[in-house]
Amino acid sequence: DTEVTQTPKHLVMGMTNKKSLKCEQHMGHRAMYWYKQKAKKPPELMFVYSYEKLSINESVPSRFSPECPNSSLLNLHLHALQPEDSALYLCASSQEVPLPNEQFFGPGTRLTVL
Amino acid sequence: GQNIDQPTEMTATEGAIVQINCTYQTSGFNGLFWYQQHAGEAPTFLSYNVLDGLEEKGRFSSFLSRSKGYSYLLLKELQMKDSASYLCAVRDDEADKLIFGTGTRLQVFP
């Protein structure tokens, strides 16, 4: 299994909703990442988990809350989002941190906040 | 500061060769990646350079000059399916993360 899976593929939510994005990998990777990507822009790093511990938080607003329940799973809990948070949210994994080589990206969740 | 520059858009003809350039200035450097991203899809890994020189992988090659802060991705025998965005990303080992360039949108015409 050499892929990263993400659910849901699409999500529409209101500003008062609470929702979660899920990411899973079974490659034995010990580092997992959340990126946000706006249209025609590069991915922007949000969070990095290394060995199930949060190692990097790129000053992301607290309405985004990451969680790593185990080495294969990464969640992103969303609450009280703003319309400008609408974007493609990408999960990625790599063997470990520091990055030795490539990151494997999931297909992303396209989020729309109304 | 950290800065990674790529051309915004390029066009080319099917069967041709295209070179996409990337220049970078980062506080730390430990490798440069090229990713391909089709519209609405996740980035997929193309190449990784950490030493100066050319890495060849089928129709795609990537070159790195660390002293010049410069890389290019060379695509040969272009196919319509090569129409995509190409992202240059630098591994900044001081910040311990990948820093992405803005990407180059390549359109291949018949």
**What does the pLDDT look like over B38-65, one tens digit per residue?**
988 889 989 989 899 999 989 999 999 9
Percentage with pLDDT > 90 across chain A? 72
Percentage with pLDDT > 70 across chain A? 94
Handedness of CA A80, A85, A88, A92 (dihedral sign): negative
Task: Please provide the DSSP assignment of chain A as one string.
Answer: ---EEEE-SEEEE-TT-EEEEEEEE-S---EEEEEEE-TTS--EEEEEEETTEEEEE-S--TTEEEEEEETTEEEEEEES--GGG-EEEEEEEESSSS--SPPEEP--EEEEE-
Q: What rounded mean pLDDT belongs to chain A?
A: 91
Q: Which of A52, A99, A47, A98 is nearest to A72 (CA)?
A: A52
φ, ψ for residue A111, nearest 5 deg: -105, 130
DSSP state, B41?
Answer: S
Question: Could you say which of A41, A90, A98 has the minimum Cβ distance to residue B93?
Answer: A98
- Indicate yes or no: CB of B45 within 8 angstroms of CB of A102: yes
pLDDT over 90 at B66, yes or no: yes
pLDDT over 70 at A80, yes or no: yes
User: In this predicted structure, what is the pLDDT of residue A91?
Assistant: 96
CA distance B3 to chain A (A): 13
User: In this predicted structure, what is the pLDDT of residue B40?
Assistant: 81
- Residues 46-75 of chain B with CB under 8 A from chain A are 48
User: In this predicted structure, what is the pLDDT of residue A100?
Assistant: 52
Residues of A in contact with B90 (CB under 8 A): none
Mean pLDDT for B32-43 is 90
Mean pLDDT for B9-28 is 95
Handedness of CA A4, A7, A8, A11 (dihedral sign): negative
- Indicate yes or no: CB of A108 within 8 angstroms of CB of B31: no
Over residues A21-71, the pLDDT tens digits come to 999 999 999 999 999 999 888 899 999 998 999 988 888 999 999 999 998
User: In this predicted structure, what is the pLDDT of residue A98?
Assistant: 54
Closest chain B residue to A31, measured at CA: B97
User: In this predicted structure, what is the pLDDT of residue B2?
Assistant: 75
- Indicate yes or no: CB of B97 within 8 angstroms of CB of A99: yes
Residues of B in contact with A94 (CB under 8 A): none
Q: Which two tokens stand for residue B101?
A: 């360039």
Residues of A in contact with B101 (CB under 8 A): 42
Question: Could you say which of A48, A90, A102 has the minimum Cβ distance to residue B42?
Answer: A90
Q: Is B105 near chain A, with CB under 8 Å?
A: yes
Q: How confident is residue A101, by pLDDT bands cut at 50, 70 and 90?
A: low
* Amino acid code (one letter) for A45: L
Mean pLDDT for B6-21 is 97
* Lowest-confidence region among A7-11, A18-22, A36-40: A36-40
Closest chain B residue to A36, measured at CA: B42
Residues of B in contact with A97 (CB under 8 A): 96
* Amino acid code (one letter) for B4: I
- Indicate yes or no: CB of B98 within 8 angstroms of CB of A45: yes
Closest chain B residue to A87, measured at CA: B40
